[in-house]
Chains A and B, each alone.
Chain A
Amino acid sequence: MNARIVVPIVVLLLVAGGLVYLFTMGTSDALDQGLLVFGRGADSKSLDPAAIDDGESVKVVDNLYDTLAKIAFDPQQGRLVTRPHLAEKWEPLPDGKPGLKITLKPNLKFHDGTSCDAAAVVFSLKRLAGADSKSPYKSFYATILVDALAAPSALEVVIPTNVPDAQLLSNLSMFPASIVSPTAVAKHGAGFGTEAAVGTGAFKLKRWERNRRIELEPNPEYFAGAPTVKGLHFVEIADNNARVQALRNGDVSVADGLNTQDYEGIQASPTLKLKLRDPGREISLLYLAFNTKVAPFDNLKFRQALAHAVDKDKIALLYNGVATRAELAVPPGILGADPAFKGFPRDVEKAKTLLAESGVTTRALKLALMTNPRPYILQPKEVARAIADAFKDLGLEVTLDEMPWATYLAHVKKGEHQMGLLGWSTDNGDADNFLSTFYDSSNTEVGTASNISFFQDKAMDALLERQRRSVVPDERRAALDLTYRYANEQAPLVPIVYVKDSFAHHARVEGVELDPIGNLFMGFARIAKR
């Protein structure tokens, strides 16, 4: 045959064969190398526990550092409890003053080989709660008397507070209160958290390639037992679909931030496992906030009318079984929640009556929302439409005002909205974390408000203060009950749905579970043989 014909055909065949090989060859062998690769939507911002508030940073920090206590679910009591972690035990201060005396476990070591003793704990807490703290969580530790923090011996720490603080232990269990190596902080200064991140945790920081990959290696001296995996990598895959696909083809072995549409496929796959939070243990809430500073939302009956009109069940259906209707602004998996509480039911007739009684004649309303999904609102526009439809039953016309997330957040924090959709997921597992965020008048500063209803009410503030100071469980229960009822009746916001958090992993990965406050600790992960 003519070479002029043969040569192009051979070249074509080679190229085609090469492409077929490229797109069908096996992919990653990370699992066989004993590596866990965690795919998530974005990179961490910093690995300094006292400088962060973003979930992607917390995910890594949880595996690098430890806290004095940890929050756990006690199946016998059916509720959350705080358990000793770096601490061996704790007790009230001997002189009856508010605060705690904590005894540490012996022989704790940081990754840099220095000793994690009482002085290191005092150093870490001063860094977090002191005047120079850069932590967005600083206010959580405002009751700690920083100058009176003391280390009477190498294993004993005295943490005095200015008032009794029902949340002190919960807050000490949270990532900002992670114990950091004072030597490493002194050595790296402002670079701590980016150049180095030295704690006592199950993993040590090996390398961080910004916006690409964080590599951790096991800490052979971890006090709760060295991890058996050879390494833990966190990689950024921004797109939700792409992340699931990476999980399917083995590029990553654990992934979160999944679309609910993918749940069915993951559950059907023999090589993948889906982990969904148990029903009744949810820790995230989606709510509809009314800006009480602008008319007609300053009108109590008008707000109550709207609260009666929202069709929560219909909205829950949009979540493919990942959400249940919310009765209360505190999800049921939270310490101090009341699963028996009933909020306003959907009752259009009642709503119409209340609307008439309110005397409000405005019929055109605006609902602000974000364009992109968040963990607690997977389809913002669909949810907003369902709300608009429900309000139509009262003869109200709702226009949707969509914005990208960053712009939206600034919009509602400045109080430029009438109504807005937002969510909250727990920080410390305690009810007050939700209540203060939503209802406390001290969180209504224009521009930074977390109380985006701008609800300022003396009675509410007093109730909040009371439950915060009740360290005796029964007293706190009673104080919380009053707060819940008052918050429901005032309706500055409508709790809509409780949302389950989730993640998926390769079937060969074992021993990774969501903890009660939504963290993923990988220190006990194992990789099964093929």
Chain B
Amino acid sequence: MGSYLARRLLMLPAMLFAVSLLAFGIAWSVPPERRALAGVEKHVSPEQLRATIVENGWDRPFLVQYWRYLGNLCAGDLGRSIERRSNVATDLVAKFPATIELALASMAIAAVGGILVGIASAYARGSALDKAAMLYALVGVSVPVFWLALMVKELIIAYLSVPLISAIPPDTWWTRIETVDALIAADPHRFAVALRRLLIPAFVLATVPLAVIARITRAAMLEVLGADYVRTARAKGLGEVAVLLRHALKSAALPIATIVGMQLGYLLGGAVLTETIFDWDGLGKYVARAVLANDFAPVQAGVLVMASAFALVNLVVDLSYPFLDPRVTLA
């Protein structure tokens, strides 16, 4: 297990190196003059454009630029946003908590909902409930999330008064996660406002993972529900709930954990479309705006964070296998 962990952790920098090269190469392929225009609103002189290019070293050869970028990266310097004129690392620290909040909230909805629907549908296989659940699962994986988000938002704007900006921030932050901070501050109004703002994007974002998790859970449960040990459990008089949760679900946990982990990895990378549509001030919205502005430092940094989040969550899932299934050993 120790050597497995070490190997996996060693692979992480190699993967990040490859991702950084790719992200940097894409940015590099855009002419520097175009990138330097990112922050320009009305006036710009040729001298100023030139100054921005030289300041950022965009006039140097590719390898020199990349070497400098890697050096800065190792020192924790992710560069500066030309459009926003801000430090990207500082921006990410400010944005990431909101993304974590949204990702965890929608993952909680998707995992609990998906597993329950999956179990129910496997248990009552072929029933109307099963058919309805699988129809939802099919629709859920097919609906483009941005379309759903747009529709839901239009409805909210038409019928509900959901606040779109957070409550006036207090003088100190603890976690920068609005719901958690409101709880720490023991401020029920602030918590209610934060929760209300969180729920709708979280549900929208949960649609696809919920459908995926429900399908996987159903399939995994179907496999074990017919197994001998489940029949034995029933035969010795255990209640149905105990049979399903303690015996069947535990055996089906491996594929479910894998899919939950993968989905969380996607969500932690920032839901670019959902965050943009709901004006959610997280990593996804930040990166989307930078992409549209040809502002590459935030995009490169965003891609790295997304890749790291994905890799780390998957590592955690892999490490959890032996706990979920004692037959699995990591070597």
Q: Which residue of A lies closest to B162 (CB)?
A: A23
- Complex interface: chain B residues within 8 A of A239 (CB): 164, 277, 279
A248:B161 contact, CB within 8 angstroms: yes
Nearest-Cβ distance from residue B296 to partner chain A, whole angstroms? 11
Interface hit among B6-14, B226-234, B265-273, B286-294: B286-294
A237:B42 contact, CB within 8 angstroms: no
Interface hit among B43-51, B251-259, B304-312: B43-51
User: Chain B 61-87, CB within 8 Å of chain A: the 1/0 string?
Assistant: 000000000000000000000011110
Nearest-Cβ distance from residue B191 to partner chain A, whole angstroms? 10
Name 13 A/B residue pairs within 8 A (Cβ), A-sorted: A19-B199, A23-B161, A25-B192, A27-B163, A27-B193, A53-B41, A136-B41, A213-B168, A233-B168, A248-B161, A427-B42, A445-B46, A447-B46
A410:B292 contact, CB within 8 angstroms: no
User: Chain A 338-382, CB within 8 Å of chain B: the 1/0 string?
Assistant: 000000000000000000000000000000000010000000000
User: Chain B 147-185, CB within 8 Å of chain A: the 1/0 string?
Assistant: 000000100010011111111110000000000000000
A246:B42 contact, CB within 8 angstroms: no
**Which chain A residues in 388-427 approach chain B with CB under 8 Å?**
404-407, 409-410, 413-414, 427
In this assembly, does B38 line the interface, its C-beta being within 8 Å of a C-beta of chain A?
yes
- Complex interface: chain B residues within 8 A of A55 (CB): 41
B46:A448 contact, CB within 8 angstroms: yes
Q: Which 10 A-B pairs have the closest CB atoms?
A: A249-B161, A136-B43, A54-B41, A406-B294, A410-B34, A22-B196, A242-B164, A406-B293, A53-B42, A445-B46
- Complex interface: chain B residues within 8 A of A447 (CB): 33, 46, 49
B281:A212 contact, CB within 8 angstroms: yes
Interface hit among A38-46, A96-104, A272-280: A38-46
In this assembly, does A271 line the interface, its C-beta being within 8 Å of a C-beta of chain B?
no
Q: Which residue of A lies closest to B156 (CB)?
A: A245
B34:A137 contact, CB within 8 angstroms: no
Give the CA-CA distance A218 to B42 in the complex, in Å: 30
B45:A448 contact, CB within 8 angstroms: yes
In this assembly, does B40 line the interface, its C-beta being within 8 Å of a C-beta of chain A?
yes
- Complex interface: chain B residues within 8 A of A504 (CB): none
Nearest-Cβ distance from residue B157 to partner chain A, whole angstroms? 5
Known contacts A211-B91, A246-B163: A22-B84 contact under CB 8 Å: no
In this assembly, does A139 line the interface, its C-beta being within 8 Å of a C-beta of chain B?
yes
Q: B160's contact among A23, A372, A405, A414, by CB below 8 Å, is which? A: A23
Give the CA-CA distance A138 to B164 in the complex, in Å: 38
- Complex interface: chain A residues within 8 A of B295 (CB): 406
- Complex interface: chain A residues within 8 A of B40 (CB): 53, 136, 409
Q: B37's contact among A139, A245, A410, by CB below 8 Å, is which? A: A410
A138:B281 contact, CB within 8 angstroms: no
B94:A249 contact, CB within 8 angstroms: no
- Complex interface: chain B residues within 8 A of A409 (CB): 37, 40
Nearest-Cβ distance from residue A180 to partner chain B, whole angstroms? 18
Question: How many pairs, one residue from A and one from B, have CB atoms within 8 Å of each other in the complex?
Answer: 135
A30:B168 contact, CB within 8 angstroms: yes
Known contacts A45-B84, A406-B294: A136-B44 contact under CB 8 Å: yes
- Complex interface: chain A residues within 8 A of B192 (CB): 21-22, 25
Give the CA-CA distance A269 to B165 in the complex, in Å: 21
In this assembly, does A162 line the interface, its C-beta being within 8 Å of a C-beta of chain B?
no
A246:B199 contact, CB within 8 angstroms: no
Counting contact residues on chain A (CB < 8 A from B), the size range is 35 or more
Known contacts A138-B45, A406-B37, A410-B37: A249-B163 contact under CB 8 Å: yes
Nearest-Cβ distance from residue B293 to partner chain A, whole angstroms? 5
Give the CA-CA distance A499 to B157 in the complex, in Å: 27
In this assembly, does A450 line the interface, its C-beta being within 8 Å of a C-beta of chain B?
yes
B169:A406 contact, CB within 8 angstroms: no
- Complex interface: chain B residues within 8 A of A45 (CB): 39, 83-85
A22:B199 contact, CB within 8 angstroms: yes
B48:A136 contact, CB within 8 angstroms: yes
Known contacts A212-B281, A249-B161, A414-B33: A53-B91 contact under CB 8 Å: no
- Complex interface: chain B residues within 8 A of A30 (CB): 168
- Complex interface: chain B residues within 8 A of A233 (CB): 168
Give the CA-CA distance A27 to B165 in the complex, in Å: 11
In this assembly, does B143 line the interface, its C-beta being within 8 Å of a C-beta of chain A?
no
A46:B85 contact, CB within 8 angstroms: yes
Give the CA-CA distance A233 to B167 in the complex, in Å: 12
- Complex interface: chain A residues within 8 A of B38 (CB): 406
A39:B292 contact, CB within 8 angstroms: no
Counting contact residues on chain B (CB < 8 A from A), the size range is 35 or more
Nearest-Cβ distance from residue A24 to partner chain B, whole angstroms? 8
In this assembly, does B242 line the interface, its C-beta being within 8 Å of a C-beta of chain A?
no
In this assembly, does A251 line the interface, its C-beta being within 8 Å of a C-beta of chain B?
yes
Known contacts A136-B43, A211-B84: A27-B195 contact under CB 8 Å: no
A-B contacts besides A212-B166, A212-B169, 20 pairs, CB < 8 Å = A24-B161, A43-B84, A45-B39, A45-B85, A53-B42, A136-B44, A139-B43, A213-B165, A213-B168, A238-B276, A238-B279, A242-B153, A243-B164, A245-B161, A249-B161, A406-B293, A410-B33, A413-B37, A414-B33, A448-B48
- Complex interface: chain B residues within 8 A of A450 (CB): 43
B161:A27 contact, CB within 8 angstroms: yes
- Complex interface: chain B residues within 8 A of A35 (CB): 168
Nearest-Cβ distance from residue A214 to partner chain B, whole angstroms? 11
Give the CA-CA distance A413 to B31 in the complex, in Å: 14
**Which chain B residues in 18-63 approach chain A with CB under 8 Å?**
33-34, 37-46, 48-49
Nearest-Cβ distance from residue B29 to partner chain A, whole angstroms? 14
Nearest-Cβ distance from residue B201 to partner chain A, whole angstroms? 12
In this assembly, does A241 line the interface, its C-beta being within 8 Å of a C-beta of chain B?
yes
Nearest-Cβ distance from residue A499 to partner chain B, whole angstroms? 16
Interface centre among B37, B43, B193 (most CB of A within 10 A): B43
- Complex interface: chain A residues within 8 A of B90 (CB): 210
A242:B279 contact, CB within 8 angstroms: yes
Give the CA-CA distance A233 to B91 in the complex, in Å: 20
Give the CA-CA distance A212 to B40 in the complex, in Å: 21
Give the CA-CA distance A43 to B285 in the complex, in Å: 13
B45:A410 contact, CB within 8 angstroms: no
In this assembly, does A286 line the interface, its C-beta being within 8 Å of a C-beta of chain B?
no
- Complex interface: chain A residues within 8 A of B161 (CB): 23-24, 27, 245, 248-249
B292:A251 contact, CB within 8 angstroms: no
A245:B157 contact, CB within 8 angstroms: yes
Nearest-Cβ distance from residue A445 to partner chain B, whole angstroms? 5
- Complex interface: chain B residues within 8 A of A54 (CB): 41-42
Q: Which residue of B lies closest to A55 (CB)?
A: B41
In this assembly, does A235 line the interface, its C-beta being within 8 Å of a C-beta of chain B?
yes
In this assembly, does A252 line the interface, its C-beta being within 8 Å of a C-beta of chain B?
yes
- Complex interface: chain A residues within 8 A of B167 (CB): 28
- Complex interface: chain B residues within 8 A of A138 (CB): 45
Nearest-Cβ distance from residue B291 to partner chain A, whole angstroms? 9
**Which chain A residues in 1-59 approach chain B with CB under 8 Å?**
19, 21-25, 27-28, 30, 35, 37, 39, 43, 45-46, 53-55
Nearest-Cβ distance from residue B101 to partner chain A, whole angstroms? 14
Give the CA-CA distance A37 to B193 in the complex, in Å: 17
Known contacts A28-B163, A211-B91: A53-B169 contact under CB 8 Å: no
Nearest-Cβ distance from residue B146 to partner chain A, whole angstroms? 13
- Complex interface: chain B residues within 8 A of A21 (CB): 192
Known contacts A53-B41, A448-B44: A245-B199 contact under CB 8 Å: no
- Complex interface: chain A residues within 8 A of B157 (CB): 241-242, 245
